[in-house]
Chain A
């Protein structure tokens, strides 16, 4: 059993692609080793310039493989004298055996010639030398590049490939780079060539050359340093797991420094400071008792900063960025948001859907209409004001500089201008929820504006036929749809999706696709997000399916029903009912006839009369309960019919020969089904 080491040294690989690249390399090589019968355990490591695989317990040599191959039939393989024919000779030759090695075996088709073929195993070094280059050179990255003569295509230029099997170089090349036992240390701290004899030696020598190949070890070191540096300044680093992951992928030698910025900048909105630190400079903010402190912690690909150059540089940059932000803030706030409206006319939203001024007009109208539909007309003046200002921050310098702060900047500016709380919060929160885990806007006004904005985008793009397909969703319409659904769910707002979509679509004027095409398609698209969100809340997929297949386009109502059905599923009688309904569905399909009115006179069986009696009594109550949307009690009444249904099926033959009796029974079942399926299609529920 042997050890294996592969290091691909390249120019700096983007931090964002490293996690997927590590996973792909590890998976593909592990699969290839398994398929080549080499076995062993592989692990992956990486730095900003390296992808590394280490393996242990790998076979030195593939085991031989013996297999049996069936050839021509015995009759075709041997002539009358029992001598092998050309067919037998050809078969033997093609499998590398002699005709004497062939034998005849009985198969279901009769006697056939069989050859026992042995493929001898090859040395692992040879096998690995063949399987690694195609895996590495065919790795896929979101944005690939060519270099030099323009032939290679990878994420970044490859400089060296180190490949050892038990200390011996595995000979192959990738993009013309021959393997060797050498690599290089840290780019600036130890750039010299390093000769490696094995896995342990590799790690020891790289660590001595200021390279920590283990990303988890780098991350742990960064966390410890950040904690210590922040504590020295009396605070703690902002908990930001994603940023720490990125920082660990940005360096080979994990080092952190603490810097200060001018306290005067703390007067700027905290959102601006934090975004600038995290997104632009990729440094960790520091908080003291929850309040932003004038410190930050920056990552460096270094081992030390004896002259304080790194601290000074980072401080200089951050102070410059904040000065820039302050300049934007002061400059932006010279104009009121109101005064920026006209400028939205030269900011394009979508080529065929016009500019943001037109979009603003549509959002405003739609928001007002939605407020009325939601019974919130009293909020209409605030909704209209918020909708009108909602996009004005897109033409501020601050948002041009910090696009992630769209909405937030508008909210902050509106607050400064003295806008009512519900209005500035609506601006601030309008892009929420950003994901399934994010919360929805704080108030009614914010939620209505957010709904209107997204419905406008969705109907416009669906109207143009720009519907997401597969992984392609350039306008982030899935996220927009998720936002619509999540707001309706969280606020428990009753809004019929096709109606809301029609409202929004009408405001676009003429679009290539008609309302009859767009509204059903978009409603179905939105329902998919309902399914997704409800599944995340832990409801069983078949429960959700049972409700969504009832043409339920009211999200909050669907959620109520799903919740009620899910709760009812623990009741024994309910299970009976859902089983019975599968049967009812089958019978109705089989019967294929509409059946007429129920006629008590045609009921001959006791069980039949009992069911009809109980059902008709329940039906009246259900009508009322469903109207009141009291689904729990409705379901419990339905469940109470379980035993009588069971009895009915045990004692009564529905599809009898007498057409009148049969029609009457079908009519009873159909009526029950139609009534019960107003809540959920129970036949969808798995027992």
Chain B
């Protein structure tokens, strides 16, 4: 199964389970969790269910396209369902069948793996899902986001698309994954990986990114004061990315690191509080729909 079919099948499956299929967010971010569809929607009492692909940038993980297993940017398929349904694990197992994995023929295990994001003030409890020893998915019950305890609780399922595609296609390198019939992942993305690594590790102007961080932070605060939660969150994401570039560039000292992470977390926490307050002012509109979360 090629990469685009895999994405298509996952969307089809989760749509059939009542998930809204959303699109990637158009701001750089380190993980699908930072998409407002997850980070903000897990907050408050309103139900939510959605699935989407999110390109995830991790500048420090780049390897110039030379390591067959590492990327500075990759794709996650993210599914979130709130409140977590009782059969969410079963639904996940069914999703494997939908992408051509017959669970009864494999070794499928859920091994403890708790998730934590200091920059988002978020943590959850769950597992890494292992298929024949291979980690294919991260399965998390969100406990806290933006420093706010969550109830109802959201189940988050994050498929690592490249790993899954490598495994399904029995490829020895990410770059040999078939993206679509006749065209490989490497042909689509290798240059991108190389140049991004070259930029993040060697070329990036640290002063510029330092300045961007400060300006984005200030702008996020201004937005928060104007009760503009989503723009504030976008600038928080931009801060986070500027920090990641500085980190890859080796321009963050250890003491700075703790302080900078805290600055991003403070913004994320204020966005989270602002979001809950704004939804409350609107009367938590999605709560009113009795048929939710079936096609929210």
Contact = CB atoms under 8 A, between A and B. Distances in A.
Contacts of B253: 345-346, 348, 355
B109 interface: yes
A111 to B, nearest CB: 61
Given A300-B107, A349-B254, 13 more contacts: A48-B110, A149-B151, A187-B103, A251-B109, A281-B133, A300-B109, A314-B133, A323-B68, A323-B172, A343-B250, A348-B254, A355-B253, A355-B255
A679 to B, nearest CB: 49
Nearest to A307: B105
A316 B104 CA distance: 19
Contact of B109 (A151, A250, A319, A345): A250
A157 B88 CA distance: 11
Contacts of B70: 324
Contacts of B103: 187-188
B84 A147 contact: yes
B289 interface: no
B86 A148 contact: yes
B141 A12 contact: no
Contacts of A189: 104
Contact of A301 (B109, B170, B258): B109
A8 interface: no
Contacts of A381: none
B147 interface: no
A649 B124 CA distance: 72
Given A157-B86, A159-B86, A188-B93, A150 B150 contact: yes
Interface string A133-156: 000000000011111111100001
B111 A12 contact: yes
Interface residues of B, number: 47
B222 interface: no
A15 interface: yes
Nearest to A318: B133
A159 B86 CA distance: 8
A320 B258 contact: no
Interface residues of A, number: 55
Contacts of A355: 253-255
B218 interface: no
B27 interface: no
Contacts of A324: 67, 69-70
Contacts of B258: 348, 351
B83 A348 contact: no
A149 B152 CA distance: 4
B14 interface: no
A31 interface: no
Given A159-B86, A351-B258, A250 B107 contact: no
A320 to B, nearest CB: 6
Contacts of A298: 133
B104 A145 contact: no
A475 interface: no
For the complex of A and B, the 8 pairs showing the least CB-CB separation, nearest first, are: A313-B132, A150-B151, A348-B254, A14-B112, A300-B107, A12-B110, A145-B125, A314-B133
Given A146-B141, A151-B151, A323-B68, A309 B106 contact: yes
Contacts of B210: none
Contact of A148 (B93, B112, B132, B153): B153
B215 interface: no
B112 A15 contact: yes
Interface in B73-104: 83-86, 89, 93, 103-104
B127 interface: yes
A148 B133 CA distance: 29
A660 interface: no
A155 B260 CA distance: 33
B104 A313 contact: no
Contacts of B170: 312, 316
Nearest to B256: A346
Interface in A10-40: 11-12, 14-16
B15 interface: no
Nearest to B126: A145
A327 B105 contact: no
Contacts of B132: 300, 309-310, 312-314, 316-317
A283 interface: yes
A302 interface: yes
A12 to B, nearest CB: 4
Nearest to B257: A348
A317 B134 contact: yes
B107 A302 contact: yes
A323 B176 CA distance: 15
A119 interface: no
B254 A346 contact: yes
11 contacts: A16-B112, A144-B125, A147-B153, A148-B85, A150-B150, A188-B93, A281-B133, A313-B106, A313-B134, A314-B134, A324-B67
Nearest to A150: B151
A347 interface: yes
Given A12-B111, A250-B109, A320-B69, A146 B250 contact: no
A11 B89 CA distance: 8
A310 B107 contact: yes
A48 B129 CA distance: 14
Interface in A271-288: 281, 283
A389 to B, nearest CB: 19
A313 B153 contact: no
B33 interface: no
A512 to B, nearest CB: 17
Interface string A239-281: 0000000000011000100000000000000000000000001
B111 A317 contact: no
B252 interface: yes
A155 B86 CA distance: 15
A144 B240 CA distance: 29
B141 A351 contact: no
B143 A313 contact: no
Given A188-B93, A301-B109, A145 B141 contact: yes
B108 A301 contact: yes
A12 B127 contact: yes
Given A250-B111, A313-B167, A348-B255, A146 B69 contact: no
A504 B106 CA distance: 56
Contact of A313 (B111, B131, B252): B131
A347 B67 CA distance: 24
Nearest to A346: B253
B107 A346 contact: no
A319 B68 CA distance: 12
Interface string A348-381: 1101001110000000000000000000000000
Contacts of B152: 148-150
Contacts of A15: 111-112
Contact of A323 (B69, B93, B134): B69
A324 B68 CA distance: 8
A147 B141 contact: yes
A305 B132 CA distance: 10
B84 A301 contact: no
B143 A317 contact: no
A309 B153 contact: no
Contacts of B167: 313, 316
Interface in B39-88: 63, 66-70, 83-86
Nearest to A349: B254
A146 B151 contact: yes
Nearest to A348: B254
